[in-house]
Copies of this chain bind each other. A is one copy, B any other.
Amino acid sequence: MGRKYLDPEIGVELLSILDEYGNLDAELEPQIGNDLHLKMYRAMLVGRRFDERMLDLQRQGRIGTFPPIKGQEAAQIGSVAALRDRDWLAPSFRETAAEIMRGRSLESILLYYNGYNEGTIIPDNQHDMPMSVPVSSQIIHAVGLGFAAKYRRTDEVVMTFFGDGGTSEGDFHEGLNFAAVYQTPVVFVCQNNQWAISIPLARQTRSRTIAQKALAYGMPGIQVDGNDILAVHLAAAEAVARARGGGGPTLLECVTYRIMMHTTADDPKKYRSEEDVERWKARDPLIRYRKYLVEKNILTTHRLSELDEEVEKEIRSAIDRAEEQMRYLGQPLDMFDHLYAELPAELRAQKEALARELDSGIGAKGGANHG
């Protein structure tokens, strides 16, 4: 008998190793091999430069609407760097850097944002899911993949991404609950970039942290400085190890910030102040990491500028290849491919009707509509 209230104000500590001023917590500093450091830095760099380049292209009408990722590179790269090739990634729509790190080609991304279904093709040797636009709907797929991986007695781990806004969807709740009940090997990574289009975190949920939502599922949760790639990687590596070892799922909250607009169709001036953005620009994950790598003599300033050039070239040639492909891709009749393993009679008839239309020149009004 007796009583005691839960304290709803319970929060979580921030895991931080390398802060915005370059201070390092040597005790927590993870032992990461130089190759991985290089791989992570390069991926962050590509993610950053490609994002900037896509913005130009969008402004020039050379691609359509897309969601920039600037400022979230560490949260993405630090997380997926903890995965093996055979592991799975179930991304949402703002994991461009993570997808690149996992092996998605820059061309495919350009094709996708230029309205080509061909832009979602995933290399055969790769285990990842195509990006998922309906917020948080992919979370449950990750649980299914994890259940199957466990059923097949593999040690594969699944990592899924979603945003702070995504935590409000029923699918977030159902997915984490299922994962905990079945102890599936899934790592749930929330890129808490403070905004869901125009809705700030404080109007998205009243819980002080997103990590504490893990308590609802009897699941470990941790909040890390999402702009500190060392912290993100350490937390992700621990969560992946737990999952791989049969320890079940983890909720990993990466506190970061959406530096740019939600998508190129959005105008943040309508709903947020520049100061806030400036404060976060000072916490830039790429600059912070680069400083660390140089101080540790893992990268020389000379090598850094070489990398800048390499990446520039890589992006330029990807754009060329993509624009080359667009000349012959986008044939209207192809839209009938891949809906079913076999085209049903009714659809065959519809395809033939479109073919006739295209021959007769009526189709002229249709066809690809770039620009």
Contact = CB atoms under 8 A, between A and B. Distances in A.
A208 B218 contact: yes
Contacts of A6: 10, 12, 211-212, 214-215, 220-222
A229 to B, nearest CB: 14
Given A173-B172, A208-B218, A218-B205, A28 B13 contact: no
Contact of A181 (B2, B5, B9, B206): B206
Contacts of A171: 170
A6 B15 CA distance: 11
A168 B169 CA distance: 13
Contacts of A5: 12-13, 220, 222
B8 A23 contact: no
Interface string A2-33: 11111011101101110100010100100000
A19 B2 CA distance: 10
A174 interface: yes
A4 B12 contact: yes
Contacts of A181: 203-206
Greatest chain B CB density within 10 A among A5, A206, A217 is at A206
B216 A213 contact: yes
Interface in A152-205: 168-174, 177, 180-181, 203-205
A107 to B, nearest CB: 37
Given A12-B6, A216-B212, A216-B213, A205 B177 contact: yes
Contact of A169 (B170, B207, B216): B170
A6 B173 CA distance: 19
A364 interface: no
A255 interface: no
Given A205-B217, A217-B207, A10 B10 contact: yes
